[in-house]
Structure 1
Amino acid sequence: MRSIGYYKGIDFGGDAHLNLRQLEAFRATMRSGSITEAAEIMHISQPSVSRLIGDIERSVGFPLFLRSGRGLTPTLEANTFYKGVEGMFVGVERLQELADSIRTTSGGIISIGTIQSIAAFELPRAVNQLYQRYDDIRFMIHARNTPGILDAVQMNQFDLGIVGQQPPYQGVETLFQTAAPYVCLMPEDHKLVGQAGTVDLEELANSETFVTSGGAFPDHMMSMSSALSNKMQGCSRLSATNMSVAASLVRETGVLAIIDPFSAEQAVNMGGVVFRPIAQDLKYYISIVTSGREQLSRQAIELSEVLAQQLSERVAHVVSYAK
């Protein structure tokens, strides 16, 4: 007989209280007709089975077996009680089978909306772990901006959303959030390459030009002083709302860019550029959101956890690099 486990919750009033282990012993004894065989079925000792049967008899208030020599004869009450116990175990075993099926069968689709900075490197790495593990999961990945992702998650169009603006977010549940320092992207032959420590944007703004974002700097960079922001915008002739485009402009024109560390890593992998930590405290926010954890499959939750771990490790690396 398969052991279901231990469960407290059958209360007969007063001191009468049964657990599932006791009922397993009663069921095994009824099925086998002996304490010895019941002990073998349950992989426990004969005294343990006898003790469990005795506990049940004290709880229910009537004898279950008549003992004659080495044999056992169920009482009338035991036969009636057994019908109820057997029905309960059938239901429990069906639940166990259902749980086994859910645990071993995945299937389905995981839909993800992601910002560009995570779409090209971090997310594919996380997806690959589940892709190799589950051969019946389909992944649908959509690259959008943060407002579009949040709207889609709220409408249950995406299981998971990876967004990049400072929380809080309305109408969604945040599974993970972190913040990484922005970095300064520069051509690999720039005079600042190879120097230790951070670069100061106040100083660089006197001699260097920068790629801006839409003619300005993103709202999440507004911890930058307005004077510095205006100074950097005033001498800029290049603007790009996409970080990967900004990185390409750095590579081709020799100007600098303030860029998130995830996009910076992609740019460095493509060659021709490097990045340096900056002195100013400019934060890039990353969060994983959903419309509700209870609506996610086990595999979708696993994906969010894998990605969260990767992002945490990446942020820790960038922070240590800045030091």
Structure 2
Amino acid sequence: MPKLTYRQIEAFRAVMISGTTRGAADILYVSQPAVSRLLTDFEETIGVKMFERHRRRLVPTPEARFFYEEVERAFVSLEKLSRAAEELREFHLGSLRIASMPAVSLEFLPALTDQFCRLHPGVSVTLQVRSTQQVADLVASQHFDLGVISGIELNDPSIEASVLADSRLVCVLPSGHRLADQKDIRPRDLEGEIFVSLGSEQSIRHKIDSVFEHENVSRQLMIETQLGFGACAFVLAGSGVSLVDPITAWHYQRLGLIVKRFEPRIPYRYSLILPKQRGQSGLTKSFLELLNSSLIKLEKETGGLFERQ
């Protein structure tokens, strides 16, 4: 048995709507004989009489009315799919799932995500804040479209990593600190200061400690916290000084914290990770363009305290 063609069904639907082959021809932008031929082929293919001919009009049979209801349901679904395709083309439909370490999730990424949502209304966004290793696991599982982490070494073949910024740690001081007018801070300047340390299980903690040990500088290691914004909160409250990543410091600088360049340079890398076995969606590419622009802007706003290279 020959199969119905989409064009035959279109002709049937157009006749049902207009009541005549001439009207159907106008709807489909074809000739009247072409509609008549399609309609004849349609009835022969399904083997059921669909219309009674009364003068110049075609009167649908009960079978035609039943079949038309099914056709309309199908066309409504097609129209929905067409609208969905258009929304996808315009980036107004879909979702973006981001996993990130805390350092960039306090203000930087939420502000960037807000900008993204205004550019792409209708797109749903998830921002999951986790430790760097947990972010890597989420992206490796392909449950998330991208991740932002500190620059640790990753040996997972399912993850593609790239450098967002090769920056450096900065020194944060409370308002009114004796070193507030000093351009750069060196280990010797912090002799005897109460120092807010990051967690001992973090590799960056050991890099910081080794710099002070090399200079034989003694600090009062009385406070320890896991996260950079926790250290900044302690310093803002006047509980000591610390070294943290520049994006976290940038947020607290606007709350009153004093941020200074620290020498010697202690590197701090921000990295982007993506699922390796999956191509980037249009939404992901759009977000990454915004991310790159925001990092360029941040470098200017911080006067070079945040470095991209």
**How many residues are paired up?**
223
1:128-139 to 2 correspondences below 5 Å: 128-139=114-125
How far has the Cα of 1:194 moved from its partner? Answer: 2.2
CA distance in 1, matches of 2:293, 2:130: 22
1:295 aligns with 2:279: yes
2:178 equivalent in structure 1: 191
How far has the Cα of 1:177 moved from its partner? Answer: 2.5
When residues 156 and 308 of structure 1 are mapped into structure 2, their CA distance, relative to the original with a 3 A threshold, is: same
Which amino acid counterpart does residue 304 of structure 1 have in structure 2? L
Q: Deviations over 1:3-30 (max 9, x none)?
A: xxxxxxxxxxxxxxxxxxxxxxxxxxxx
1:314 equivalent in structure 2: 298
1:107-256 to 2 correspondences below 5 Å: 107-167=93-153, 170-171=156-157, 172-195=159-182, 197-201=183-187, 203-214=188-199, 216=200, 218-220=202-204, 222-224=206-208, 226=210, 228-229=212-213, 235-256=220-241
* Structure 1 unmatched runs, 5+: 1-96
Which amino acid counterpart does residue 241 of structure 2 have in structure 1? L
- Residue among 258, 276, 279 paired with 1:274: 258
How does the TM-score come out when normalised to structure 2?
A: 0.64
CA distance in 2, matches of 1:291, 1:303: 15
How far has the Cα of 1:229 moved from its partner? Answer: 4.6
Query: SS in structure 2 opposite 1:276?
Result: strand
In the alignment, is the contact (CA less than 8 A) between 2:93 and 2:123 conserved in 1? yes
Q: Which moved more, 1:248-257 or 1:275-284?
A: 248-257
Query: SS in structure 2 opposite 1:304?
Result: helix
Query: SS in structure 2 opposite 1:170?
Result: coil
How far has the Cα of 1:314 moved from its partner? Answer: 2.5
How far has the Cα of 1:303 moved from its partner? Answer: 0.5
Which amino acid counterpart does residue 110 of structure 1 have in structure 2? L
How far has the Cα of 1:270 moved from its partner? Answer: 2.5
Q: Which moved more, 1:120-129 or 1:153-162?
A: 120-129
How does the TM-score come out when normalised to structure 1?
A: 0.61
Query: SS in structure 1 opposite 2:180?
Result: coil
User: Percent of pairs identical after alignment?
Assistant: 17
CA distance in 1, matches of 2:191, 2:244: 19
When residues 260 and 154 of structure 1 are mapped into structure 2, their CA distance, relative to the original with a 3 A threshold, is: same
How far has the Cα of 1:238 moved from its partner? Answer: 0.4
Q: Deviations over 1:145-176 (max 9, x none)?
A: 10000011000121110101344553311254
CA distance in 2, matches of 1:322, 1:141: 23
* Structure 2 unmatched runs, 5+: 1-82
Which amino acid counterpart does residue 193 of structure 1 have in structure 2? A
1:305 equivalent in structure 2: 289
CA distance in 2, matches of 1:322, 1:108: 33
When residues 183 and 105 of structure 1 are mapped into structure 2, their CA distance, relative to the original with a 3 A threshold, is: closer
Which amino acid counterpart does residue 112 of structure 2 have in structure 1? A
- Residue among 250, 262, 267 paired with 1:283: 267
How far has the Cα of 1:179 moved from its partner? Answer: 1.5
Q: Deviations over 1:166-213 (max 9, x none)?
A: 445533112542121111101111011122x21101x13423121011
CA distance in 1, matches of 2:242, 2:129: 22
